[in-house]
Amino acid sequence: MNVHDSERISGLLEGAGYTPSDGGQPDLVVFNTCAVRENADNKLYGNLGLLAPVKEKRPGMQIAVGGCLAQKDRDTILRKAPWVDAVFGTHNIGSLPALLERARHNAKAELEILESLDVFPSTLPTKRDSVYSGWVSISVGCNNTCTFCIVPSLRGKERDRRPGEILAEIRALVEDGAIEVTLLGQNVNSYGVEFGDRGAFAKLLRACGDIEGLERVRFTSPHPAAFTDDVTEAMAETPNVMPQLHMPLQSGSDKVLKDMRRSYRSKKFLGILDRVRERMPHAAISTDIIVGFPGETEEDFAATLDVVERARFATAFTFQYSKRPGTPAAELADQLPKAVVQERYERLTALQDRIAAEENAKQVGTTVEVMVTAASGRKSGETGRLSGRARDQRLVHFSVPDGAPVPRPGDLVTVPVTAAAAFHLISDPAGPADYSLRRSRAGEAWDRSQAESCGVPAGPAGARTGVSLGMPALPPRS
């Protein structure tokens, strides 16, 4: 959701005449912030501190802070970093260009935080990070009251887009060359509650199956308490909905789940996974887990380890509990010592890494279809491998056999899995016979985007075609 909001911010700014920084010192830096974890606060104020001397040497440079931390901290940001020019919240992303102009004109900081949604973000211009894959927001906000989560107070109650608007945006993306979309919402499977249709999400998935040219549909994140069999059936029966599911567990202890107000228990959670795998035996399931929630006992933590062992997650995003002011959990007794949380966290990640490696090892010898991405692995320079995502979202690093055609980002290759690790699969085809390339509309869109980026007129020597934005080179931390 934050990545997609950043695409909206970039689209707004480019529409207002700004251009991406070319690597030099920009005229504008925008921080789009998250408030889920405490380290986001530390990173923001640390980077703002490093920017203070940079801005002092560059008259006219502007800094803006938006997103969830801005919604939460409001005046605190300007008090701690008075050199910031504009602060905007989660409900008024569209105000940023005007706030920057007002700050420039009035020579003072502008703060605008709305308490409810002004304009649905998906109606704003977008500068998408990828031409072959896109995010599509189906709802914003959250109606749940999880005791550890600050999101509902910052993004508000759930607001649902009408199905026609969502499908129209998806069709427009496909017309531009995208072959994959990810549907976004705080709780995507509660979509439709606002307009009185509890089966709306399953219907939306099936409608995506009717969009010609759309090859891969994903969604994140559902809530186990509201996950119904009609969604499982829609996933299994709609060919372009991928066999991949992100299902947040948070804890395997029923007591902790109750304290979290998660409104499901471990038995129900595992039952959902069983039904999904019954209909889609090769589905890859990922999750979120919090370690060290207040009052978590060793017995509670053992229950989490048990559920993880039984669930066989392909991957898990594991977090140490972070106390967030303004949440009910922050006021609970029995906040756990850091050393206890750290030790449990290490045990959990060791278990999940073992399971992920075992599950990935089962893929060796199979054949996978991989959508090639622009980003390659850290060792791609040494190995010469390209990277992409399988249908089940597993990361695949693959080599192109000598004499075989090289794919573009957005193209699809079918390759054998020859090795595996905990976090990725490897494919080194023995020869062209083990390698198949399908050039796609998305690959063609990638070619066009590269040609356009290389063919923009530079203008007269020394001329500026817009105001640049981006992250400047910061002085090293002492």
- Per-position pLDDT tens, the chain of length 478: 788 888 888 888 888 889 888 777 899 999 998 877 777 778 899 999 999 999 999 888 999 999 888 888 878 899 999 999 999 988 788 888 889 999 998 889 989 887 666 666 666 566 677 889 998 999 988 899 999 988 777 778 888 999 999 999 999 999 999 999 999 998 999 999 888 999 999 999 999 999 999 999 999 999 999 999 999 999 999 999 999 999 999 999 999 999 999 999 999 999 999 999 999 999 999 999 999 999 999 999 999 999 999 999 999 999 999 888 889 999 998 999 999 999 999 999 999 999 999 999 999 999 999 999 998 878 878 889 999 999 999 999 999 999 999 999 999 999 999 999 999 999 999 999 999 999 999 999 999 888 876 654 333 333 334 555 554 555 454 4
Quick one: tokens of 393?
Answer: 């979202």
At 252 the three-state DSSP class reads: coil
Separation of alpha carbons 422 and 356, rounded Å = 5
Quick one: tokens of 437?
Answer: 């390339």
Q: What is the dihedral of CA 119, 76, 107, 55, to 10 degrees?
A: -110
Q: Where are the domains of the chain?
A: 2-112, 121-361, 367-441
Separation of alpha carbons 334 and 295, rounded Å = 5
**Annotated binding-site ranges:** 142, 146, 149
Q: Provide CB contacts within 8 A for 184, sequence distance 6+.
A: 1, 4, 135, 136, 137, 138, 219, 220
Other C-beta atoms lying within 10 Å of the C-beta of residue 50: 14
Buried b (16+ CB within 10 A) or exposed e, 55-68: beeeeebbbbbbbb
Quick one: tokens of 50?
Answer: 């490093």
Separation of alpha carbons 204 and 161, rounded Å = 11
Question: Taking the complete model, does pTM exceed 0.95, yes or no?
Answer: no
Identify the CATH class of 2-112: alpha beta
CATH number of 367-441: 2.40.50
Judge whether 55 and 97 are in contact, CB under 8 Å.
no
| Helix/strand/coil percentages in the chain, nearest 5 | 40, 20, 40
**Annotated binding-site ranges for [4Fe-4S] cluster:** 142, 146, 149
Domain 121-361: CATH superfamily is: tm_1862 like domain (3.80.30.20)
Q: What is the dihedral of CA 64, 69, 70, 72, to 10 degrees?
A: -170
In eight-state DSSP terms, residue 98 is: H
